[in-house]
Amino acid sequence: MPTLLLNKKDVQNLIAMDEVIPVVEKAFKELTEGKGAMPSKVYLTLKDGDFRAMPAALPGAAGMKWVNVHTGNPSKGLPTVMAVLIYNDPATGYPLAIMDATESTAFRTAATSAIASKYLARKNSTTLGIVGAGRQASTHIMAHRLIFDFKEIRVFDISSEAVARLTIDLPESPIKECSLEETAKSDIVCTLTPAHQPVVKSKWIMPGTHINAVGADAQGKEELEPSILNQAMVVVDDLRQASHGGEINVPISKGLFKKQQIYATLGEIITGKKTGRTDNKTITVFDSTGLAIEDIAVARLLYEKARNKGTGLTVNLVD
């Protein structure tokens, strides 16, 4: 049996946000119901960046993503995040596919945020705030627009050029470059920065705001003032990962936030074990660290589509 090889272009031609969102939501449901397996991601920290090993299994699918985060890469003409995924047959361990996971990482992260917003944001949300206009900004806008009808998408970045590129990439989106404060005063706010110090202040956040805190995905990172967490309903993707490397990791280490204050996991909300938003005044925060189940769910989707379409190359790695 040959192993399928999918490069970045192959994945770009196969992936579609309207297909990614439902498979990611299903993966959270399966994990919460005990049908999946996922140890916490393992970090390898080096001088110029870090690597993460992310294994997981879902019904009929298994594999591992190997992903880096090197914030200095754009100056070298390389993406900050690059990833490769090995997709295996869980029954035999056979490597069914090796695929670029850079694009799928951007899609599955944004899909997860949009799913969180579906359950935790006000249904009548009309403004989306994007803090950080990198690759994740594009996919977050794409994913949220499938669920919400925004009148305005406010974007802040320290680089006006980055906002301009985003506007060109998404010409049909009502994007407006705004100050950080104005961006934070949106119905839904997505923080997508590599910050190690809070960039979003509590005084800017309005009652009823939903925040997807995405950028803090490693120890020492944080984007929100801890006081925001203390007045919010906090939902995490995974308790272990969030505690050690999510938005809550620094406040917990400083004694400014306790694990006991976490309301639920996203899977508990999706499966109905816990209730999502019930009023228009509660501030909600989703702490997204990025789960391997998201990657395996999307890899399964891409593998099946590639097989059906005859996309990619094959190689005999084992035989």
Band of pLDDT at residue 71, cut at 50, 70 and 90: confident
**How much is the pLDDT for 40?**
86
Q: How far apart are CA 37 and CA 56, in angstroms?
A: 6
- pLDDT surpassing 90 at residue 79: no
**Which residues 6+ apart lie within 8 Å of 316 measured at CB?**
2, 3
Looking at CATH, the fold of the domain delimited by 109-290 is given as: Rossmann fold (3.40.50)
- DSSP H helical ranges for 203-291: 226-230, 239-245, 249-253, 266-271
Helix (H) or strand (E) segment spanning residue 54:
strand 50-58
The helix/strand/coil state of 196 is coil
* CATH topology agreement for domains 3-105+293-315 and 109-290: no
pLDDT per position as a tens digit, 123-161: 999 999 999 999 999 999 999 999 999 999 999 999 999
Find, among 179, 227, 184, 238, the residue nearest to 206 by Cα. 184
- pLDDT surpassing 90 at residue 121: yes
The type of residue at 5 is L
Q: What are phi and psi of 179, to 5 degrees?
A: -70, 165
- pLDDT surpassing 90 at residue 80: no
The helix/strand/coil state of 287 is strand
Percent above pLDDT 90 for the chain = 95
Q: What is the mean pLDDT of residues 269-281?
A: 97
In angstroms, the Cα distances linking 64 to 34, 88, 99 are 19, 9, 11
Q: How far apart are CA 25 and CA 271, in angstroms?
A: 10
Q: What is the torsion angle, in degrees rounded to the nearest 10, for the CA atoms of residue 293, residue 84, residue 13 and residue 115?
A: 30
Q: What is the mean pLDDT of residues 223-250?
A: 96
Q: What is the torsion angle, in degrees rounded to the nearest 10, for the CA atoms of residue 261, residue 266, residue 269 and residue 274?
A: -30
CA terminus-to-terminus distance, the chain: 7
List the catalytic residues: 65
Predicted TM-score of the model (pTM): 0.95
Q: How far apart are CA 298 and CA 281, in angstroms?
A: 34
User: How high is the mean pLDDT of the chain?
Assistant: 96
Domain extent listing, the chain: 3-105+293-315, 109-290
* CATH of 3-105+293-315 given 2.60.40.420, 3.40.640.10, 3.30.1780.10, 3.30.70.890: 3.30.1780.10
pLDDT per position as a tens digit, 7-42: 999 999 999 999 999 999 999 999 999 999 999 889
Q: What is the mean pLDDT of residues 287-299?
A: 97
